[in-house]
């Protein structure tokens, strides 16, 4: 009997004591919210959770709950809870426990999941009605991307229609047998959603071509990858000797540090007079919607005339390489100029990303523009909260720089004059890899010397004269490269036109220069891509080897 009484007493103590211990303990507060009130199916649902304890105790446990289809679902992870969620209204609950083992009350918010706006291929065809055996296939397609998402994957398949062979996965480069082939394409966005399947028919004649230099340099498309030709280490090409380099003076302002911003602040600031170029390249590494602004003002006591032209700033976007390529392409295509009157004491917005859309987490804004002024212009590049007015600039602090480039340089263009006579073996020029090539300038915010490694924002105009027809290729030497070339001042094309140059044994076609003529092309290292790059020169007497 005494034993039973002791057991009952212990149970009472264990039950009642916690009530006394935590009777006065304050409950922690569960706090969360959705970044948006509605999301599309498959879109990442962003939840901002800021639960806390009034006593300062650490939050040690979270319990999420949702009512989905009339059924209760719980998880310690919000990502797990929402995984596989379907369309409709969903109420999400949260409670938290602190280090004192006290649970908060439940709090809840509703979120709407809507059907996705579909990614749709609207056209898919070949550039020519028929191709020869071994001829490079050229596909063109268009698609509707209503959410402006990154296309992260493509699914290519093809088969011989007549022989009913098995379907082969992969994008066909060219066909080695005559016949009719069905080729299909699907694309996938960053949310994991696939488009519709589009198909086209490729007809291949009995005519066979040899994929040598003669074919590639006379019939190839500029920007194409060179498959099945050379396939060697391009760095073994001979260094060209008769090359004259000239620099064109001007003010080059580069704002790329910190590349990933962690808060609002001033990214770079300096004053220029005359001709110049301004380059920006920043990624939003915060959890808040931001905007990037380029602001012009003048320290003078009288108005200054400012002309801005060739403005090519792209984003916000998540694909860094393709954004950099699009910037160079648009810059080379030349855009109309705009004239401003910069009044003393007045801040003038030259670029404001919020006029395009919100700058969200992990999105890049990248670009450049040329300018000319008849007096001093103070340039300020800033990251700000999306709602902040321009006048908030005076409250911003300079953000600490990182390993990337921030500075002002005194060269805005470089010219290469290349003269080739009696080239026995393929030749090369490597650009952007040597310390003696890199521009040296000054960080106006610290006064320290800075180096523009790779020479971002510097157009390289190349002029070639040759005594023999010459094929020109480009090869990436420093890593991933996705860019564009301006050819003879009137044609702009992507290099490469497909995929990414990253393999040191893969090159893309730049073009062919006829003997006795002078040809010009312009290259610029795209923001996000890596230097150096190699330009290769293959004389006509080697094309059929």
What's the CA gap between 477 and 457, in Å, rounded?
19
133 CB-near residues (< 8 Å, 6+ apart) = 174, 175, 176, 177, 178, 204, 205, 206, 207, 208, 209
- Per-residue pLDDT tens digits for 426-439: 999 999 998 999 99
What spatial distance separates the first Cα and last Cα of the chain, rounded to whole Å?
106
Range 439-468 average pLDDT: 97
Phi, psi of 196 (to 5 degrees): -65, 165
Q: Which residues partner with 199 through β-bridges?
A: 184
The label of the residue with tokens 């790059």 reads 533
Distance CA 70, CA 79 (A): 20
| Section 508-520 average pLDDT | 95
- 75-120: pLDDT as tens digits: 999 988 888 888 888 999 999 999 999 999 999 999 999 998 889 9
Residue 22 predicted with pLDDT over 50:
no
Statement: residue 402 has pLDDT above 50: yes
How far is it, in rounded angstroms, from Cα 302 to Cα 372? Answer: 17
Tokens of 276: 């110049």
The predicted pLDDT at position 14 comes to 46
Residue 19: the pLDDT is 46
Output the pTM of the full model. 0.80
200 pLDDT more than 90: yes
At residue 21, the pLDDT reads: 46
Residue 58 pLDDT > 70, yes or no?
A: yes
User: How many other C-beta atoms can be found within 10 angstroms of the C-beta atom of residue 119?
Assistant: 21
Residue with more model confidence, 412 or 18: 412
Mean pLDDT, residues 329-347: 94
SS3 per residue for 169-211: ECCCCCCCCCEEEEEEEEEEECCCCECCCEEEEEEEEEEECCC
When pLDDT is cut at 50, 70 and 90, the band that residue 7 belongs to is: very low
**For 314-383, where are the alpha helices, taking DSSP H only?**
320-332
Q: What is the pLDDT of residue 215?
A: 86
Separation of alpha carbons 399 and 263, rounded Å: 8
Average pLDDT, the chain: 91
> Residue 412 pLDDT more than 50?
yes
Q: Residue 266's closest CA among 411, 440, 388, 412?
A: 388
Q: Which of 100, 226, 296, 174 lies closest to 499 in space, CA to CA?
A: 226
Residue 42 pLDDT level (bands cut at 50, 70, 90): confident
CB-count exposure of residue 48 (10 Å: 0-12, 13-18, 19+): exposed
CB burial class (10 A; 0-12, 13-18, 19+) of residue 454?
buried
**Beta-strand relationship, 470-476 and 491-495:** unpaired
Q: Per-residue confidence at 3, pLDDT binned at 50, 70, 90?
A: low
Tokens of 377: 């212009």
């Amino acid at each position: 009997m005494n034993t039973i009484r002791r057991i009952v007493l212990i149970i009472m103590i264990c039950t009642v004591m916690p009530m006394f211990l935590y009777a006065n303990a304050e409950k922690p507060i569960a706090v969360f919210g959705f970044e948006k009130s509605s999301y599309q199916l498959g879109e990442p649902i962003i939840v901002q959770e800021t639960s806390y304890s009034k006593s300062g105790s650490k939050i040690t446990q979270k319990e999420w709950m949702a009512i989905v289809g009339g059924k209760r679902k719980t998880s310690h992870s919000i990502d797990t809870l929402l995984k596989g969620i379907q369309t409709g209204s969903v109420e999400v609950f949260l409670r938290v426990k602190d280090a004192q083992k006290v649970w908060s009350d439940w709090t809840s918010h509703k979120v709407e999941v809507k059907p996705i706006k579909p990614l749709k291929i609207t056209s898919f065809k070949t550039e020519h009605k028929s191709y020869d055996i071994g001829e490079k296939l050229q596909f063109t397609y268009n698609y509707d991307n209503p959410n402006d998402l990154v296309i992260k994957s493509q699914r290519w398949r093809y088969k011989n229609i007549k022989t009913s062979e098995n379907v082969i996965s992969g994008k066909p480069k060219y066909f080695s047998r005559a016949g009719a082939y069905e080729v299909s394409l699907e694309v996938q966005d960053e949310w994991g959603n696939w488009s519709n399947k589009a198909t086209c028919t490729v007809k291949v004649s009995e005519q066979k071509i040899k994929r040598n230099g003669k074919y590639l340099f006379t019939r190839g498309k500029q920007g194409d990858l060179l498959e099945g030709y050379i396939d060697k280490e391009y760095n073994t090409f001979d260094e060209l000797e008769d090359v004259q380099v000239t620099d064109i003076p001007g003010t080059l302002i580069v704002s790329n540090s910190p590349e990933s911003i962690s808060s609002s602040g001033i990214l770079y600031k300096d004053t220029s007079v005359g001709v110049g170029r301004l380059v920006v390249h920043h990624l939003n590494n915060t959890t808040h919607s931001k905007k990037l602004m380029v602001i012009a003002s003048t320290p003078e006591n009288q108005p200054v005339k400012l002309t801005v032209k060739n403005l090519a700033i792209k984003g916000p976007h998540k694909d860094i390489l393709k954004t950099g390529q699009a910037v160079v392409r648009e810059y080379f295509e030349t855009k109309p100029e705009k004239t401003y009157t910069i009044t003393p004491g007045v801040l003038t917005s030259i670029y404001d990303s919020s006029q395009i859309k919100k700058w969200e987490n992990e999105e890049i804004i990248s670009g450049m523009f040329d300018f000319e002024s008849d007096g001093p212009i103070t340039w300020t590049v800033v990251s700000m909260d999306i709602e902040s007015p321009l006048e908030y600039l005076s409250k911003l602090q300079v953000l600490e720089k990182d390993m990337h480039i921030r500075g002002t340089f005194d060269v805005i263009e470089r010219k290469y004059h290349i003269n080739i006579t009696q080239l026995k073996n393929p030749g090369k020029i490597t650009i952007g890899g040597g310390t003696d090539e890199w521009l040296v300038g000054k960080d106006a915010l610290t006064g320290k010397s800075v180096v523009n490694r790779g020479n971002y924002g510097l157009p390289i105009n190349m002029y070639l004269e040759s005594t023999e027809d010459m094929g020109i290729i480009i090869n990436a030497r420093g890593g991933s490269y996705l860019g564009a070339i301006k050819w003879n001042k009137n044609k702009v094309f992507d290099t490469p036109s497909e995929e990414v140059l990253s393999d040191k044994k893969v090159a893309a076609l730049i073009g062919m220069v006829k003997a006795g003529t002078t040809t010009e092309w312009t290259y610029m290292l795209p923001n996000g891509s890596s230097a150096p790059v190699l330009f290769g020169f293959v004389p006509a007497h080697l094309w059929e080897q």
